A = this chain, B = another copy of it.
Amino acid sequence: MAPLDTRTQLLDAAERLFAERGFRGTSVRAITDLAGANLAAVGYHFGSKAELLSAVVRRVIEPITAAQLAGLERLGSEPTISELVEAFAGPLFDEMRADTSRLIVRIFGDPSEEMRDWTGSAEEQVRDRYRAAFARALPDLPAEELWFRMRGILAVAAVDRVDRHNQPCTPNPTEPARRWAVTFLAAAMSAPPTG
A contact residues vs B (CB 8 Å cutoff)? 20-22, 24-25, 102, 105-106, 108-112, 144-145, 148-149, 151-152, 154-156, 158-160, 162-163, 166, 176-177, 179-188, 190-194
Contacts and interface: CB of A to CB of B under 8 A. Distances in A.
6 contacts: A105-B108, A149-B184, A154-B159, A158-B159, A179-B194, A187-B190
Given A152-B156, A182-B194, 18 more contacts: A25-B110, A25-B112, A105-B108, A109-B162, A145-B176, A145-B180, A148-B177, A148-B180, A151-B160, A152-B160, A156-B156, A159-B159, A179-B194, A180-B194, A184-B188, A184-B191, A185-B188, A188-B191
Count chain B CB atoms within 10 A of each CB in A155, A160, A194 and give the residue with the most. A155
Contacts of A183: 191-194
A149 B194 contact: no
A193 B192 CA distance: 20
